[in-house]
Every structure is written in C-alpha cells, then in structure tokens.
Copies of this chain bind each other. A is one copy, B any other.
Amino acid sequence: MEKRTKFVLDEEEIPGQWYNIQADLPRPLLPPLHPVTKQPLTPDDLAPLFPMELIKQEVSTERWIDIPEEVRDIYKLWRPTTLFRAHRLEKALYTPAKIFYKYEGSSPPGSHKPNTAVASAYYNKKEGINRIATETGAGQWGSALSFAGACFGVKIKVYMVAISYKQKPYRRIMMETWGAECVSSPSKDTKVGRDMLAKDPDCPGSLGLAISEAVEDAMSRDDTHYSLGSVLNHVLLHQTVNGLEAKKLMEKADAYPDIIVGCVGGGSNFAGLFLPFVKDKIDGTKPDLRIINVEPTAAPTMTRGPYAYDYGDTAKLAPIIKMYTLGHDFIPAPIHAGGLRYHGMAPIICHLADLGLVEATAVHQIPTFEAGVTFARTEGIISAPETNHCIRVAIDEALKCKESGEAKTILIAHSGHGHVDMAAYDAYLSGKLVDYEYPKEKIEEALSKLPKV
C-alpha cells in the first residue's frame, strides 16, 4: 500500500446521495432573514430565484438526499475524482507526515464548482426554467454553470466582476465556448449596474455587486432564475459528493486524516470535502480531528470578522445571514485568488466554527505561491491560486511533523488547477507579487454598517 500514488473508485461508486449536515448539527442553524422585512425567509420569498427542490434542500434536515440519475450521468464525465498520495512532496519536505490530496481539477471547467452547477441547472430545467443569471469572480463558477447549462440546454447569463473580466479573458471565452453570455459587471444590463457606472465608469466591480446584478436580472424576468455557486446550504450539500468519495478512498488507503485543510472563499469546496468527516467529530468517534479553513490575510473573514447577521450582497437584495463577515460593501485587495475575495462565509461553516468543530487561519499571498511552485515541481499539478492557500498550510503542518517526528496524516482539499491563472505565477516568479494585510479600521467600519436585526 505504501507505494501507491492514486486511489480511485469506479464510476458505479459515485455516491447515490448527498450528505446533509443539518441532520447532525448539535444546534440548528439560525434562519436567514428577508433583506427588507428582516423576518425569517419563507419559501415564497425564495421562489422567484430558485426552483422549489433547491429551496427544500436549503432547509431540509433529512440526512441523505438522493442525487438524481440525470445529475449522476453528468458527474460521470469526470467523477469519481482521484485521491493522490503526495509521495514526492513528502520526500522533498523530508517529513514523516503522510500527505493526501483529493483533486477536483479534472472536471471540464477545472474545479469542484460543477458539482453544484450541474444540480442547479438540472433542477431549474426540471421546473421549466430555461434561463439562469449568475455572477462570477475569477470565473470558475461562471464557467461551471455555463458547462452545466450546455448539459441541460439552459441559457446562462454571467455577470463577471469587471477587473477579472479584463484580466482573465480565457475564463470568459470558456463560458462562451459552452454557449453562455458573459458581461463585465457593473454592466448596462441592470439598474444596479447602470447606477454604479454613472457614479464610477471605471468601477472594478466586486462579487457583492455582481450578485446584486444577477439577482436583479432574475427578479425582473419571469423566465429566469438565479444560481449561487457557494455559501448556501444546498450548494454545500451538492459538494458533499466529493467528501463522500474522499472518505471511501481514505479507507482504501487504509488511513484517516489527523488534519484536513482547504481554502475558503464562500466555503463550498472545503465544506464539501470535510462535512462527511465532521460528522465523526460530532458523534465523538474522531474527537482529535483538526479541520482548518484557510483564508487570505487580504480577506480574513473567519479570523478577523465578527460573527453577525449581514447582507449577502452589496445592494442588499440578497438575504441577511448569520456569518463571519467583513461587511457587505467590502472591496477586496486585488489578490490573485479571486475565489477567496468574498466578504462573508457559508453559514454552515461559521456555525461549525462557533461550535468549536472547525478552526480557521489566514495566510499571505507570496508564501502561498511559494507553496504552489513546490507542489508543481514535485506533484506536477499547477494549482489554482486559491488552492495554493491550503497547500501552504499543509506544507507548514508537514514541516511541524518533521520537527516533532510525528507521522500525521494530512488531507488537502485540492479544488482545481491554475491553467488559466498563469499570469499570477508570472507575477510571483518575477518578484512582482505583494502581500496585503486587511486594515483594522476597515473591520471597525464594517461593524458599524451591520444591519440591525
């Protein structure tokens, strides 16, 4: 066993059900609130945006939810994904630690995102919806939903944060190749966008603003729904297909993690991996398991933000949710990990952190690329800038093992490749990258703007 590099499952072994952590929470989640009335959201509030099946999943406390056959059929294009043992990285670090990574970069868009995009497109199509509006930061989510739209014949309109739209044309072209329409946000296609352009024609955009545009688009058209690629409970639910596979594969490897690390922006990738494991911590079978959420120092939501009710978007159109937050009008520093530049965090992850079941740490940008280059030169894969954040922490933990002599087992949630992010590597290799520390004043300012609920 020791020398095995890859652990794989047959396509028949793709899980038949998603795992719903809401069935096992020691305390239930706090409800999301309506952005205007500030009362708990009802299914009717959400109906203009989401298909009823997803609204049900959002609040379900059933432990297992069936994955529709049509969704599993699409999953088969790239799932189950592989669990790797990072022998070559371990050797380069001279560590006794055993490092594993579950790799989601083999999906057509190159990340974990289609796990939920495919489900979202499917449930919308099933309820007669033929058009979905969404936002995208760095482009991973937008391209995943574009791919999913192509699978089910659903038209996709993507509002892409302006600065990424300019810097990452390849992601836009991917979306167009799959048949979607992609515009720079703020755009002229919504009132929110037009108002912002009138104020600032060169506005670089933000994820919060792009969400506002997509929500407005969906609210204003009967034929259109909205889809969100992270944060929400049903999104994390869909991502558990990855964690369930990982658990089976770790068994095949005759191992169980001491530490699981993953990067968090909205949190869906990492939660998808760790939720089936956190269950073992809740029921007491694995009390010492450490689950480390890794975020950038430039967007230190969990490590420095308050745990409070806040809006999900800039224009206050999205629900108010209880989460760690940097404030709904947060404008992030231009770090290359575009997927980690969100002001909030999935309520499930925040709740688990509040319960002491998961922890968080923040890392600087330059050390993440240093880790990414080490990973590329040992394991081959050039990782997404987001993923480099947790690779950094995995390497640090493995180096601690070298000091202590402990042979800990570390599992990395590897969310995707960096093929479309090579400009970031160029900046690192040529010494042009800088680090960002989130200013203390901004946190105080954000606190003062939280909604009174």
Contact = CB atoms under 8 A, between A and B. Distances in A.
Contact of A419 (B77, B176, B178, B419): B419
A420 B419 contact: yes
A422 B426 CA distance: 18
A369 to B, nearest CB: 9
Contact of A178 (B8, B376, B426): B376
Report the copy number of this chain in the oligomer: 2
Interface residues on A, range: 35 or more
Given A177-B376, A377-B179, A5 B76 contact: yes
A106 interface: yes
Contacts of A382: 108, 174, 177
A150 B110 CA distance: 23
A8 B6 contact: no
A406 interface: no
A179 B170 CA distance: 24
A380 B108 contact: yes
A333 interface: no
A4 interface: yes
A258 interface: no
A429 interface: yes
A151 to B, nearest CB: 8
Interface string A279-306: 0000000000000000000000000000
Contact of A426 (B6, B173, B417): B173
Contacts of A173: 422-423, 425-426, 429
A173 B376 CA distance: 12
Nearest to A369: B177
A147 interface: yes
A253 interface: no
Interface of A: 4-6, 8, 10-11, 73, 76-78, 84, 88, 106-108, 110, 147, 150-151, 169-170, 173-174, 176-179, 373, 376-382, 417, 419-420, 422-423, 425-426, 429
The 7 closest A-B pairs by CB, nearest first: A108-B380, A5-B76, A419-B419, A170-B422, A173-B422, A150-B377, A173-B426
Given A170-B420, A174-B425, 9 more contacts: A106-B106, A108-B382, A110-B419, A169-B426, A173-B426, A174-B422, A176-B429, A417-B419, A419-B420
